[in-house]
Structure 1
Amino acid sequence: MSTTQHAFNLDLVAGKQPLASRTAGVTGVLTAVWRLFRNRCQIARLQDLDDRQLLDMGLKREDLQEALTSSFFDNPGSYLTRASRNRANLFYRGVRHD
């Protein structure tokens, strides 16, 4: 065998991942998808609150709608956190957006 054939064979062996590594990768992806789904279900339950209760958390009903209609792989919880923080900052600056 020539040297190039040995190098080619080594590349093929190095490219294979062990079963445990592939299983861990698939498990990580499934866990992330499950977490996103569960977060969306919890945000959907926030729609049961009235507007006053949502405003106590710094949220509006429009924020919930935008979070739930975002792409599935976007984290809707981070969107709601940003919306709440922005509304709190405006409130403490004296600008009310009820």
Structure 2
Amino acid sequence: MRTTPHALDLDPVACKPSLASRTAGVVGVLTAVWHLYRNRSQIARLQDLDDRQLLDMGLKREDLHEALTSAFFDNPGSYLTRASRNRATLFYRGVRHD
């Protein structure tokens, strides 16, 4: 029977990520934070619309408030999407939810 020796390479220098991968990681985090900030500022601009215009999109002022007061790293757009879809579902089921 033939055996081959297996050795683990536990060199700590070899395990360090390269400068390119660290830079890509930092750029990715900064990009994600920028997108979250931009989404929140766009949702804040929705508050300039009147209630009828918001209801045309399936939203209410409470939905905007909930999205803007969510945790920073949560996607606020998901709150608005969920609220709009729930309201549309209730509408098509014939349930009035004003």
User: Higher helix proportion, which one?
Assistant: 1
Match of 1:14 in 2: 14
Mapping of 1:1-98 within 5 angstroms?
7-8=9-10, 10=11, 12-98=12-98
AA matched with 1:46: L
Structure 2: stretches of 5+ with no match in the other structure: 1-7
AA matched with 1:85: R
Figure out how many residues of one structure are paired with residues of the other and give that number: 91
Q: Classify the secondary structure of the residue corresponding to 1:54.
A: helix
RMSD (CA atoms)? 1.2
Query: 1: distance between equivalents of 2:31 and 2:9?
Result: 37
Q: Classify the secondary structure of the residue corresponding to 2:58.
A: coil
Q: Classify the secondary structure of the residue corresponding to 1:59.
A: coil
Displacement after TM superposition at 1:7 (Å): 4.8
Q: TM-score, normalised by structure 1?
A: 0.89
Q: Deviation per CA, 1:32-79, whole angstroms, max 9, x where unpaired? A: 000000000000000000000000000000000000000000000011
Task: Give every structure 1 segment of 4 or more consecutive aligned residues whose post-TM-superposition deviation is greater than 3 Å.
Answer: none
Displacement after TM superposition at 1:96 (Å): 1.3
AA matched with 2:87: R
Query: 2: distance between equivalents of 1:22 and 1:47?
Result: 39
Q: Deviation per CA, 1:8-38, whole angstroms, max 9, x where unpaired? A: 4x2x023200000000000000000000000
AA matched with 2:69: T
